[in-house]
Structure 1
Amino acid sequence: MRERPVTNPAPTPAVFINAQNAITGLRGRDLLTTLRSVAAHGLRNPMHTARHALALGGQLGRVLLGETVHEPNPNDVRFIDPTWKLNPLYRRSLQAYLSWQKQTRHWIDDSSLNADDRARAHFAFSLLNDAVSPSNTLLNPLAVKELLNSGGNSVVRGVSNLFDDLLHNNGLPRQVSKHAFEVGKTVATTPGSVVFRNELLELIQYKPMSEKQYAKPLLIVPPQINKYYIFDLSPANSFVQYALKNGLQTFMVSWRNPDVRHREWGLSTYVAALEEALNVCRAITGAREVNLMGACAGGLTIAALQGHLQAKRQLRRISSASYLVSLLDSQIDSPATLFADEQTLEAAKRRSYQQGVLDGRDMAKVFAWMRPNDLIWNYWINNYLLGKEPPAFDILYWNNDNTRLPAALHGDLLDFFKHNPLSHPGGLEVCGTPIDLQKVTVDSFSVAGINDHITPWDAVYRSTQLLGGERRFVLSNSGHVQSILNPPGNPKANYVENPKLSSDPRAWYYDANHVEGSWWPQWLEWIQQRCGVQRETLTALGNQNYPPMEAAPGTYVHVR
Structure 2
Amino acid sequence: MRDKPSTGALPLPATFMNAQNAVVGLRGRDLLSTLRTLALQGIKQPVHSARHALALGGQLGRVLLGDTLHKVNPQDARFADPTWQLNPFYRRGLQAYLSWQKQLGSWIDESSLPADDRARARFVTTLLGDALAPSNSPLNPLAVKELLNSGGASLFKGLGQLLDDLLHNDGLPSQVSKQAFEVGHNLAATPGAVVFRNELLELIQYQPMSEKQYQRPLLIVPPQINKYYIFDLSNDKSFVQYTLKNGLQCFIVSWRNPDARHREWGLSSYVQALEEAMDACRAITASKDVNLLGACAGGLTIAALQGHLQAKRQLRKVASATYMVSLLDSQIDSPAMLFADEQTLEAAKRRSYQRGVLDGRDMARVFAWMRPNDLIWNYWVNNYLLGKQPPAFDILYWNNDCTRLPAALHGDLLDFFKYNPLTHPGGLEVCGTPIDLQKVSLDSFSVAGINDHITPWDSVYRSALLLGGSRRFILSNSGHIQSILNPPGNPKASFLESPKLSGDPRAWYHDAQKHEGSWWPQWLAWIQQRSGEQRQPLSALGSPRYPAMEAAPGTYVHVR
Q: What's the TM-score, normalizing by structure 1?
A: 0.98
Question: 1:105, 1:300 → 2: CA distance?
Answer: 38
1:3 — aligned with what? none
Amino acid at match of 1:92: R
More divergent stretch after superposition (303-312 vs 73-82): 73-82
Amino acid at match of 1:252: I
Question: 1:235, 1:213 → 2: CA distance?
Answer: 20
Match of 2:388, SS state, is coil
The Cα of 1:7 is off from its aligned counterpart by 6.2
Question: 1:206, 1:414 → 2: CA distance?
Answer: 35
Match of 1:323, SS state, is strand
Where in structure 1 are there 5+ consecutive unaligned residues?
1-5
1:472 — aligned with what? 472
Match of 1:482, SS state, is helix
Amino acid at match of 1:64: L
Structure 1 residues 272, 454: CA separation in 2 closer, same or farther (over 3 Å shift)?
A: same
Alignment of 1:99-498 (within 5 A): 99-498=99-498
Match of 1:264, SS state, is coil
Q: Is the 8 A contact 1:208 1:539 kept in 2?
A: no
Amino acid at match of 2:263: R
The Cα of 1:539 is off from its aligned counterpart by 3.2
Where in structure 2 are there 5+ consecutive unaligned residues?
none
The Cα of 1:391 is off from its aligned counterpart by 0.4
Give per-residue Cα distances to partners, 1:474-523, cap 9 Å, x unaligned.
00000000000000001111000001000000000010000000000000
Structure 1 residues 278, 7: CA separation in 2 closer, same or farther (over 3 Å shift)?
A: closer
The Cα of 1:8 is off from its aligned counterpart by 5.1
2:551 — aligned with what? 551
Q: What's the TM-score, normalizing by structure 2?
A: 0.98
Q: Is the 8 A contact 1:207 1:539 kept in 2?
A: no
Give per-residue Cα distances to partners, 1:77-115, cap 9 Å, x unaligned.
111111111111010000000000100110111011111
Question: 2:201, 2:378 → 1: CA distance?
Answer: 36
Q: Is the 8 A contact 2:370 2:453 kept in 1?
A: no
2:519 — aligned with what? 519
1:532 — aligned with what? 532
Q: Is the 8 A contact 1:15 1:335 kept in 2?
A: no
Alignment of 1:89-108 (within 5 A): 89-108=89-108
The Cα of 1:370 is off from its aligned counterpart by 2.8
Match of 1:203, SS state, is strand
Question: 1:9, 1:148 → 2: CA distance?
Answer: 41
Amino acid at match of 2:246: N
Amino acid at match of 2:182: E
Question: 1:76, 1:27 → 2: CA distance?
Answer: 28
Q: Is the 8 A contact 2:15 2:371 kept in 1?
A: no
The Cα of 1:423 is off from its aligned counterpart by 0.3
Q: Is the 8 A contact 1:18 1:454 kept in 2?
A: yes
Q: Is the 8 A contact 1:329 1:420 kept in 2?
A: yes
Structure 1 residues 486, 281: CA separation in 2 closer, same or farther (over 3 Å shift)?
A: same
Give per-residue Cα distances to partners, 1:47-66, cap 9 Å, x unaligned.
00000001100100000000
Structure 1 residues 306, 348: CA separation in 2 closer, same or farther (over 3 Å shift)?
A: same
Question: 2:355, 2:75 → 1: CA distance?
Answer: 42
Amino acid at match of 2:535: R
The Cα of 1:368 is off from its aligned counterpart by 1.2
1:43 and 2:43 equivalent? yes
Amino acid at match of 2:350: R
Question: 1:29, 1:133 → 2: CA distance?
Answer: 23
Q: Is the 8 A contact 2:264 2:406 kept in 1?
A: yes
The Cα of 1:45 is off from its aligned counterpart by 0.3
Alignment of 1:15-26 (within 5 A): 16-26=16-26
Give per-residue Cα distances to partners, 1:363-408, cap 9 Å, x unaligned.
0011112321111000000000000000000000000000000000
Q: Is the 8 A contact 1:217 1:251 kept in 2?
A: yes
Q: List structure 1 segments (4+ residues) > 6 angstroms apart after TM superposition.
A: 10-14
Alignment of 1:2-13 (within 5 A): none
Amino acid at match of 2:447: V
Query: How many matched pairs?
Result: 555
Question: 1:405, 1:158 → 2: CA distance?
Answer: 34
Question: 2:78, 2:445 → 1: CA distance?
Answer: 38
Question: 2:389, 2:43 → 1: CA distance?
Answer: 46
Match of 1:179, SS state, is helix
Q: Is the 8 A contact 1:309 1:315 kept in 2?
A: yes
Match of 2:483, SS state, is coil
The Cα of 1:532 is off from its aligned counterpart by 0.6
Amino acid at match of 2:39: A
2:80 — aligned with what? 80
Question: 2:369, 2:213 → 1: CA distance?
Answer: 46
2:57 — aligned with what? 57
Question: 2:18, 2:459 → 1: CA distance?
Answer: 11
Question: 1:372, 1:493 → 2: CA distance?
Answer: 25
The Cα of 1:436 is off from its aligned counterpart by 0.2
